[in-house]
Structure 1
Amino acid sequence: MAELNGLPVAAEQLQALALTNYGHFTTLRVDDGRVRGFSLHLERLERDCRTLFGVDLDPARVRALVRRMVPDRGAAVIRVTVFDPAIDIGRPERAVDPQVLVVRRAAGTLSPPPLSVSSTRYVRDVPQVKGVGLFGALHQRRAARLGGFDDALFVTPDGLVSEGGTWNIGFHDGERVVWPEADCLPGITMRLLQGARDHRVAPVPLADVPSMRAAFATNAAVGVRAISRIDGTELPGDHPVLDSLRQAYAEVAAEPV
């Protein structure tokens, strides 16, 4: 299901989004009409809209548009994309009337199997923004999968672990959770876990990964997912901290849409 500004969307209305890839989005999981960190998702949309379009986005309007797509019961994943259908590729500064596209799809399991990831030197464009231009990230994911891994793990030019293409990464160093300090998207699930668990934010050189006791990926669609291999380093997919993090995330109070 998809709606643009609360109305059924036609293919021609998505042409600018498909051809320019200029816009931003957030993805959230709805369970029985409630969303963990919904206010943070709205804050992200407001912040990124000012960054990309220089205008304010009405969070009450976005909430109303999302509410239209929320099922009465059960789980769903909803993506909210903000873009200007009138954008001119030669004059992008004139794109100042962003519209709201809301798409709903079925939700997957909150307990997917562990990931194996291959590190690659890559930094997303404007990494603090959840932008729609996924070419680079998907190209890195494709290369990793062709190499026998599930996904790619991005590393900065100076060798610091940053993020995955659609997820944040965290580690456990034997004492506490460590979130990498690097240019990356401040993920909603990561922020919720930071508020629920003792942690530290510090640079994580790729060379230090073998010393870590566990690693995990986080995003709104799956919550906490174990990472069982980073390049040639095997990590336990059943480390006790993983269940502890999942429990902490499950206990985060969800907000009504």
Structure 2
Amino acid sequence: MRLLAQPRIEVNGRPPSAEQFPLPLVNHGHFTAMQVRGGRTRGLDLHLARLDGATRELFGDALDGDQVRNHIRHALGDDTPDASVRVYVYWPDGDDAASIVVTVRPPAPSPKSPQSLRSVGYQRPAAHIKHLGGFGQAYYGRQAVREGFDDALLTGHGGVIAESGIANIGFFDGTSVVWPDEPSLHGITMQLLEPRLPDIGIESRRGPVRLADVTGFEAVFITNSHGVAAVGRIDDMTLPTGHDVVEAAARLYESVPWDVI
């Protein structure tokens, strides 16, 4: 396999010109991110549903899933079976249809484990959409890294936890994984794990989780397109790591079938 020398970008299935690729200047749009291996990805139907739903909400129009798949396949070409792929959707002024941007980069490794998170008082607007213009989460994420953490943990009033800057977060209370019920993005990895956890004897539910409560959980972990990783520290609180539930969740995710793009 030949690794990409530089990122590959296509707009509507073609290399972009300066005129048709204003994405760096656009913040009204949305995207999805996936890991591709052998021309396949996990949860393809969920990615396509995410893109279609956000396009309907933001622009009042549907998005053809087959067209999205064709654009991804074209951008991957015959020489890049493994990659990190993002699909962006925005609507240029004056156009009568949305534009689909596909970026292809080298595949991402599994996330570092355990993770450390720095809590911040910030929640994403329209958090249910994986939207463009994520200055706030990027700002706090970079600030957290400068302070020696891996990412930011986004919280609301009273220290109610929502999500990390780039991942969902789950808390195991001994019988169930509790996913915070604050406004957040329901990530694809979370969507794949949540209905499967009962298959391995672990219940899953939504509920409030506060910073003051986190040391009472037996395990904490994050999920995103890179995989599943334990959380070993939030602010100055040390959390238990090495719990079987985190390893079980990681194995469960690894068992999810890959879908042909």
Indicate the SS of the match to 2:58: helix
Alpha-carbon distance in structure 2 between the residues aligned to 1:70 and 1:248: 27
Contact 1:114 1:237 in 2 (8 A): yes
Residue 247 (structure 1) aligned with residue 254 (structure 2): no
Contact 1:69 1:104 in 2 (8 A): yes
Indicate the SS of the match to 2:21: helix
Indicate the SS of the match to 1:113: coil
Contact 1:54 1:96 in 2 (8 A): no
Contact 1:160 1:182 in 2 (8 A): yes
Alpha-carbon distance in structure 2 between the residues aligned to 1:185 and 1:96: 28
Alpha-carbon distance in structure 2 between the residues aligned to 1:237 and 1:98: 45
Q: In the TM superposition, what is the alpha-carbon distance from 1:239 to its structure 2 partner?
A: 1.9
Q: In the TM superposition, what is the alpha-carbon distance from 1:96 to its structure 2 partner?
A: 5.8
Alpha-carbon distance in structure 1 between the residues aligned to 2:244 and 2:96: 48
Indicate the SS of the match to 2:19: helix
Residue 104 (structure 1) aligned with residue 101 (structure 2): no
Q: In the TM superposition, what is the alpha-carbon distance from 1:75 to its structure 2 partner?
A: 2.5
Alpha-carbon distance in structure 2 between the residues aligned to 1:128 and 1:9: 29
Over the aligned positions, Cα root-mean-square deviation in angstroms equals 1.7
Residue 29 (structure 1) aligned with residue 35 (structure 2): yes
Indicate the SS of the match to 1:65: helix
Q: Cα deviation per residue 1:48-78 (whole Å; 9 max; x = unaligned)? A: 0011111111111111111223365752110
1:174 aligns with 174
Alpha-carbon distance in structure 2 between the residues aligned to 1:203 and 1:246: 24
Residue 53 (structure 1) aligned with residue 59 (structure 2): yes
Normalised by the size of structure 2, how large is the TM-score?
0.89
2:4 aligns with none
Indicate the SS of the match to 1:119: strand
Alpha-carbon distance in structure 1 between the residues aligned to 2:168 and 2:144: 17
What amino acid maps onto 2:85 in structure 1?
I
Indicate the SS of the match to 2:182: coil
Contact 2:172 2:178 in 1 (8 A): yes
**Alpha carbons of 1:166 and 1:96: their partners in 2 closer, same or farther (altered >3 Å)?**
farther
Q: In the TM superposition, what is the alpha-carbon distance from 1:176 to its structure 2 partner?
A: 2.2
2:76 aligns with 70
Alpha-carbon distance in structure 2 between the residues aligned to 1:8 and 1:50: 26
Contact 1:116 1:150 in 2 (8 A): yes
Alpha-carbon distance in structure 2 between the residues aligned to 1:96 and 1:236: 53
Q: Cα deviation per residue 1:185-207 (whole Å; 9 max; x = unaligned)? A: 01110010001103121111221
From 224, 231, 235, the equivalent of 1:227 is 231
1:120 aligns with 120
Q: Cα deviation per residue 1:227-246 (whole Å; 9 max; x = unaligned)? A: 11011111233222111011
Question: Any gaps of 5 or more consecutive residues in structure 1?
Answer: 88-94
Question: Any gaps of 5 or more consecutive residues in structure 2?
Answer: 1-7, 198-202
Aligned length: 248
What amino acid maps onto 1:82 in structure 2?
V
Q: In the TM superposition, what is the alpha-carbon distance from 1:42 to its structure 2 partner?
A: 0.2
Q: Cα deviation per residue 1:130-160 (whole Å; 9 max; x = unaligned)? A: 0011111111112212222121000112431
Normalised by the size of structure 1, how large is the TM-score?
0.91
Alpha-carbon distance in structure 1 between the residues aligned to 2:90 and 2:52: 13
What amino acid maps onto 2:20 in structure 1?
Q
Residue 7 (structure 1) aligned with residue 7 (structure 2): no
2:24 aligns with 18
Residue 84 (structure 1) aligned with residue 84 (structure 2): no
Q: Which ranges of 4 or more aligned residues in structure 1 deviate by more than 4 Å?
A: 71-74
Indicate the SS of the match to 1:40: helix
Contact 1:27 1:80 in 2 (8 A): yes
Indicate the SS of the match to 1:7: coil
